[in-house]
Amino acid sequence: MSPPRIGVLALQGDVREHLAALRVCGADAVPVRRRAELDDVDALVLPGGESTTISHLLREFDLLAPLRDRLAAGMPAYGSCAGMILLATEIVDAGVPGRAAIPLSAIDMTVRRNAFGRQVDSFEGDIAFDGFAEPVHAVFIRAPWVERVGSDVQVLARAAGHPVAVRQGKVLATSFHPEVTGDRRLHRLFVEMVAGRA
């Protein structure tokens, strides 16, 4: 059986780090910048970066509507930090009109951008993660948090009293950056979700 082909949206953010982590976990990982590349993957990772910039680039590269369509049709996805923001149904403090972050509505949740503060307020620490025996060392960089989840959304981890990792069906999101820590459990979980094993 061939490994799942998982794309990493390669418009901004930790693209190389996500690709490397996915490959370690057995996926055929490829960068995605064009419609044909999106059409050719089984699943997609939306990395961190700046959610308003990524939204702008999705429009510029004519990927916004195709990505929304793939997500609506059930394509598995994982978003970290800015990726979590974009996967939401509603974004608080989305940005200035015309340059705001655009929700892709893949997880029934409301997310607040930069909820933990600005760049200087970035931090890291160990957090309990549902399903993992050991805590996850989480790196939060201008991170969002989740303010509301729908009834079908599973909260996997919390920090400062707010959800920071969630799952709805085959869509996973974290407000932190597992790709920078060397802990591959989240990427392995996503690969197993794509393969139908988790």
Tell me the catalytic residues.
81, 177, 179
- Known binding residue 50? Answer is yes
- Known binding residue 113? Answer is yes
- Known binding residue 142? Answer is yes
Kindly provide the b/e burial profile for residues 112-136, where b requires at least 16 CB atoms within 10 angstroms of the residue's own CB.
bbbbbeeeeeeeeeebebeeeeeeb
Pairing of strands 123-127, 136-140: antiparallel
Q: Single out the residue of 35, 36, 39, 45 nearest to residue 7, CA to CA.
A: 45
User: Within its chain, how far is the Cα of 186 from the centroid?
Assistant: 11
Rounded CA-CA distance 175/171 in Å is 14
Tokens 């060397």 belong to residue: 182
Is residue 185 exposed (0-12), middle (13-18) or buried (19+ Cβ within 10 Å)? middle
- Known binding residue 107? Answer is no
* Annotation: binding site for L-glutamine: 49-51, 113, 141-142
Specify binding-site residues. Answer: 49-51, 113, 141-142
